[in-house]
Amino acid sequence: MNATITIWSKHMTKFFRNREELGGLLLQPILWVVLFGVGMGALVRNVDGSDYMSFMLPGVLALTALGGAVGGGMALLDERLRGILKEYLAAPIPRLSILMGNAASTVTKALFQATIILVVGALMGAHITGNPLGWVALVVLLAMFTIGFAGIALAFAARSKSIMGYHGLIFLFNLPLLFASNALYPLVNMPGWIKAIALANPTTYLIDALRGLTFGGTASIALPISFAVTTLFAALGMALALWSFRRTIR
């Protein structure tokens, strides 16, 4: 735990010092909300009884979390290729704490971005719940989802031989996770086979629960199931990361 906090705070220090990363990370979600929201919003007024901005925001949150997780994997890969990882490995700390520190900073950054998305989204007319429980649910669900995907990214980052190789692999996961989900179109209207894929995708459960709890829509999947799936996804992601990491450092 101590090491996790130390590594987390180190990443945050570097993050606030790096103006490029900071600026890109803050600007990117704004662009998503504004450009996509305005463009699609002009085409589609209403989805499933909610306005398009409210319908779209959970998807933008998920997309941003995916991007953040890719960045988290990048940070580990960078530390690995530079050899900085050796400092942690020679220290009396659990191997998992190294991964947890990385995932924790990834989640922190994703929550920063989520805040911006919500503020911009609200300004653009999204209906966001006033119920504090809806906010807590958002934080928990988004954190779990980010940890899960950060785990997958870390698992790749622990094995990749180069930055190019890592990006090639990770994009095989990244876009399908978004498109084969209910992020852009509602679950009910999907053809059966896409729906089957979407239901195997944890992104769907995050987005569905967020729509129901935070954005004034109705959830089409039972909430306990969505929470269970995202939590399980987080656990499996980190387990995969640890397994891959242990194999690398043998």
In the complex with other proteins, which residue's Cβ is closer, 222 or 249?
A: 249
Does residue 22 bind other proteins (CB under 8 A)? no
Q: Angle of helix 163-179 relative to helix 52-82, nearest 10 degrees?
A: 160
Q: Are 66 and 74 in contact (CB under 8 A)?
A: no
- Site membership for other proteins, residue 17 (CB under 8 A): yes
Instruction: Please choose, out of 30-38, 56-64, 78-86, 105-113, the segment that lies near other proteins by the rule CB under 8 A.
Output: 78-86
Question: Distance (Å, rounded) from C-alpha 78 to C-alpha 51?
Answer: 41
99 binds other proteins (CB under 8 A): no
Q: Contacting other proteins (CB under 8 A), which of 27, 35, 38, 91?
A: 91
Residue 171 burial by Cβ neighbours in a 10 Å radius (0-12, 13-18, 19+) = exposed
Supply the minimum distance, in Å, between the C-beta of residue 91 and other proteins. Answer: 5
- Nearest to 101, CA basis, from 15, 163, 226: 15
The yes or no reply on residue 20 touching other proteins (CB under 8 A) is no
- Mark the segment that binds other proteins (CB under 8 A) among 6-14, 23-31, 145-153, 175-183: 6-14
Rg over alpha carbons for the chain, rounded to the nearest Å, is 18
What residues line the site for other proteins (CB under 8 A)? 2-3, 6, 10, 13-14, 17-18, 82-84, 86-93, 249-250
